[in-house]
Amino acid sequence: MPTLIKGRRVVSETTPSPEQGEVLRLEPTDDPAAAAERLARVARVEVHFPKFGDGRGFSIGRLLRERYGYQGELRAVGHITRDHLFFLESCGFDAFELRDGEDPHAALAAFADFSDSYQASPKRPLPLFRRRLA
């Protein structure tokens, strides 16, 4: 059973009610620009990571948050291990469906893998050099 982390906590899955809207699933080849119109009406967006090393979804996450202003749940699904979590969160993801066999409670520690990052992200809109100078 894949397990879900949301808001940095292990949670059980809930099916969205009809009035919450549908689930929009994006494959790595999908262009988030094409989905921009629908973003205000969906219950959540799922971005699929088909392989451990397939990094296209990271760009999709940032685009959804930074360019298309998506504010709702952004969930990474597919081949997700704890090793992705810090980067995913930095790219705007806030929900993570771990691959089978990955211990979700142990995985929570990965959010603290790094205490800072050099780059800007939806979470930290200023890159480190701007904050260093502040």
Residues lying near other proteins in the complex (CB under 8 A): 52-56, 58-60, 62, 67, 81, 83, 86-88, 90-91, 101, 103, 113-121, 125-130, 132-133
Give whichever of 46 and 58 is closer to other proteins, judged by the CB atom. Answer: 58
When the beta carbons of 74 and 91 are compared against other proteins, the nearer one is: 91
User: Least distance from C-beta 73 to other proteins, angstroms?
Assistant: 19
- 38 DSSP assignment: G
**Smallest separation (angstroms) from other proteins to the CB of 54:** 6
CB nearer other proteins, residue 1 or residue 15:
1
In the bound complex, what is the minimum distance in angstroms from residue 106's beta carbon to other proteins? 9
Q: Are 68 and 32 in contact (CB under 8 A)?
A: yes
Residue for token pair 């979590």? 85
Residue 34: CA count within 13 A, CB half-sphere: 7
Closer residue to other proteins (CB): 13 or 128? 128
Closest CA to 75 of 49, 93, 102, 50: 93
Write down the H helix ranges in 45-127: 56-62, 82-90, 104-107
Of 22, 18, 19, which is closest to residue 46 (Cα–Cα)? 22
What is the smallest separation between the CB atom of 6 and other proteins, expressed in angstroms? 19
Nearer to other proteins, 20 or 81 (CB): 81
Q: What DSSP element (H or E) covers 25?
A: strand 23-26
For residue 86, the minimal CB distance to other proteins (Å) is 7
